[in-house]
Structure 1
Amino acid sequence: MIEEASINVNGLMKGDENAFQALFIDYYSVLVSFAMKYLEDQETAEDIVQDVFVKIWETREKLGGIDNLSAYLYQMVRFRSFNYLRAEKVRQDATKFFTEELEETEVNEYIKNETFRIVMQTLEDLPPGSRNVFSRAIQGYSAKEIADELGIAVETVKKQKQVARRILKEKLGNLFSLFFLVG
C-alpha cells in the first residue's frame, strides 16, 4: 500500500495537476486490481477507477475534510463497483423480464393468427350453399332475412346452417364453440 504521506492533498485542493497526476500514477493500477476483486471485466474496472479519479478532481476543494485519502479512494472504488453490479443485475433482470414478456406476447399473437387462419380456411371449405347461409348467420341475419336475400325457403336456410355447424364442429372441435354461437 502506498503511504499517505506521499499524497499532496494541499496541492490537489489547489488544483495542482502535477499532484493529481502523481496520485493517478501511484493509485490507478492498484485500484483497478482492487476493483477486479468485485468485477470480472477489466474494462469496467478501469472505467470505474477513472470515474473515481474524475470525481476526486471535480471535488478536490473538499479533500481537506478527508482523514485518509488512500482509504477514501479504495472506499469509492468499492462503492462504485457495488453500484455497478447492482445496476447490472437490475438491467439483466429487466432484460430477462421483457424478453420473456415479448416471447409470450409473440407466442400469443402467433396462436391468435393461426387460429384465425384455420377458422377462415374451414369456412372457405364449406359447401357454397352452407357457406353463404352461415356467413350471413354469423353476421346476425335471421333465417327469414337470409331466405329473403338468397331467394330460398327458411327451411333450406335452417338445413344449410345445420350442415355448416356439423362440418365446422368436426373440423374445428373446441374452437367451434369459442367462435360460433350462432342460433
Structure 2
Amino acid sequence: MIEEPPIDIGRLIGGDENVFQALFVDYYPSLISFAIKYVEREEAAQDIVQDVFVKVWETREKLRGVENLSAYLYQMVRFKCFNHLRAEKIRHDATRSFTEEMDVVEMNEYIKEETFRIVMSIVEELPPGSRNVFSRAIQGYSAKEIADELGITIETVKKQKQNARRVLKERLGNLFMFFCL
C-alpha cells in the first residue's frame, strides 16, 4: 500500500493552491460518502462537502490550531449535515403548515360558498313578499329601511321575515342557527 505524504498545513495556510487541490482530491470522495450517510441525497452531500472546502480555503488561517486535519474535515462535514437537516425540517414543517392552512382556508371557503348557494336557492323559493324582505334583511337593511323602500309597514316586514325564517329553519335544519336574522 502506497502512503501519500501528509498535507502540509503550513503551505495550505499560506495559500498554496496546489496543496489545497491535493487536499480536495484526497478527501472529497470519502467526505461525500460520509455526508450521504446523514443527508441521504448525493446532490445535497456534494453541496455540503463543497461548502466545507470553500470554508476551509476562506478561513485557512484558523487551521493553525488544528492538530488532525482529517478529523477536522469530517467534523465540519458532520456539522454542515446537521445544519442542512435542521433547515430541511424547518422548510418541510413550514410547507406542511402552509399546505394544511391552505386546505383549511379552501375548505372554509367552499363551505361558505356552498352554504350561501343553498340559502339563496331556498330564498328564491320563498313567496315574493318574504323573498323581497329577507333579501334586504341579509344585506343589512333595518326593518324601517325595508318598510320605507317597499312601501309596507314595519309590522309587515317583521311578519315577512318571520315567515322566511320559518321556511329556512324547516329547510336548513341545524344549519339555520348560523343565519339568525
Runs of 5+ unmatched residues, structure 2:
none
**What CA distance in whole angstroms lies between the structure 1 residues aligned with 2:84 and 2:109?**
37
SS at match of 1:173: helix
Q: Counterpart of 1:176 in structure 2: which amino acid?
A: F
Deviation at 1:158, TM superposition (A): 5.5
Deviation at 1:29, TM superposition (A): 0.4
**What CA distance in whole angstroms lies between the structure 2 residues aligned with 1:154 and 1:81?**
74
**What CA distance in whole angstroms lies between the structure 2 residues aligned with 1:155 and 1:82?**
73
**What CA distance in whole angstroms lies between the structure 2 residues aligned with 1:37 and 1:137?**
66
Deviation at 1:141, TM superposition (A): 1.4
SS at match of 1:7: coil
Deviation at 1:15, TM superposition (A): 0.7
> Among the aligned pairs, what percent are the same residue?
69
**What CA distance in whole angstroms lies between the structure 2 residues aligned with 1:155 and 1:81?**
75
Tell me: CA distance 1:137–1:82, structure 2 relative to 1, closer, same or farther (3 Å): closer
- Normalised by the size of structure 1, how large is the TM-score? 0.84
Number of equivalenced pairs: 178
**What CA distance in whole angstroms lies between the structure 2 residues aligned with 1:154 and 1:77?**
80
- Counterpart in 2 of 1:49? 49
Q: Counterpart of 2:86 in structure 1: which amino acid?
A: R
**What CA distance in whole angstroms lies between the structure 1 residues aligned with 2:61 and 2:144?**
87
Tell me: CA distance 1:58–1:166, structure 2 relative to 1, closer, same or farther (3 Å): same
- Counterpart in 2 of 1:20? 20
Q: Counterpart of 2:23 in structure 1: which amino acid?
A: L
Deviation at 1:81, TM superposition (A): 0.7
Deviation at 1:100, TM superposition (A): 0.9
- Normalised by the size of structure 2, how large is the TM-score? 0.85
SS at match of 1:37: helix
Tell me: CA distance 1:43–1:136, structure 2 relative to 1, closer, same or farther (3 Å): closer
SS at match of 2:120: helix
Match among 139, 142, 145 for residue 140 of structure 1: 142
Give the aligned CA root-mean-square deviation in angstroms: 2.5
1:95 paired to 2:95? yes
Deviation at 1:123, TM superposition (A): 1.3
Deviation at 1:128, TM superposition (A): 0.9
- Counterpart in 1 of 2:68? 68
- Cα deviation, 1:73-94, whole Å, max 9, x if unaligned, reads 0100111111111111121112
Tell me: CA distance 1:126–1:27, structure 2 relative to 1, closer, same or farther (3 Å): same
**What CA distance in whole angstroms lies between the structure 1 residues aligned with 2:4 and 2:78?**
19
Runs of 5+ unmatched residues, structure 1:
none
1:110 paired to 2:126? no
Deviation at 1:43, TM superposition (A): 0.9
CA contact under 8 A between 1:4 and 1:68: conserved in structure 2? no
Tell me: CA distance 1:119–1:142, structure 2 relative to 1, closer, same or farther (3 Å): same
Larger mean Cα displacement after TM superposition, 113-122 or 19-28: 113-122
SS at match of 1:6: coil
Q: Counterpart of 1:141 in structure 2: which amino acid?
A: A
Q: Counterpart of 1:124 in structure 2: which amino acid?
A: E
